[in-house]
Amino acid sequence: MQVSMNINGEPVTADIEARKLLVHFIREDAGLRGTHWGCDTSNCGTCTVWVDGEAVKSCTVLAAQADGHEVRTVEGLEGADGLDPVQQGFIECHGLQCGFCTPGMLMTARWFLDRNPSPTKDEIREAISGQICRCTGYKNIVDAIHWAAEHPRTNEVTA
């Protein structure tokens, strides 16, 4: 079946099997490898992207379901003014070691901060409770998101 969607503002069209998961469409058909494909079971959250402004686990959404919708991936975080504060926060606070979980952490963090701009650290921990990091113990990730909360973004949201 033919599927078309906007990813980070760019139209992407491909002829795919109906069973194809959104994460594989993003990586294989759109060629955007920033979104990682992890546990395959909706647990780890590294495949998190936005569909119509809502953070979702793209291993548990069919690409067909995103047909005609707006998708935003980690590649769409950086704006004309440079890195999004959540990206900068992960640099400032050393919010990653191997980096595998990072794209999902970043997309969830930005979605969360847009809805709750001044969270407590407990609220940040709850917000990322659907993301798994096997390196850091989460402390630096929570610090990074907290850093971002104190540095509001200036970039326009693309989707």
The residue ranges that bind another protein (CB under 8 A) are 1, 17-19, 21, 40-42, 45, 48, 54-57, 60-62, 64-65, 108, 112, 126-127, 129-130
**Which token pair is 26?**
């993003």
Of 39 and 91, the one with the shorter C-beta distance to another protein is 39
Q: Please state, in angstroms and rounded to a whole number, the distance separating the CA atoms of residues 73 and 8.
A: 7
Closest distance of CB 74 from another protein, Å: 15
139: Cβ contacts below 8 Å, ≥ 6 apart: none
β-strands 48-51, 54-57 pairing = antiparallel
Of 1 and 91, the one with the shorter C-beta distance to another protein is 1
Task: Identify the three-state secondary structure at position 42.
Answer: coil
Helix residue ranges, H only, 1-138: 22-24, 85-92, 102-115, 121-127
Closest distance of CB 124 from another protein, Å: 11
CB atoms near residue 67 (< 10 Å):
15
Of 60 and 97, the one with the shorter C-beta distance to another protein is 60
Closest distance of CB 45 from another protein, Å: 6
Closest distance of CB 118 from another protein, Å: 17
Of 129 and 154, the one with the shorter C-beta distance to another protein is 129
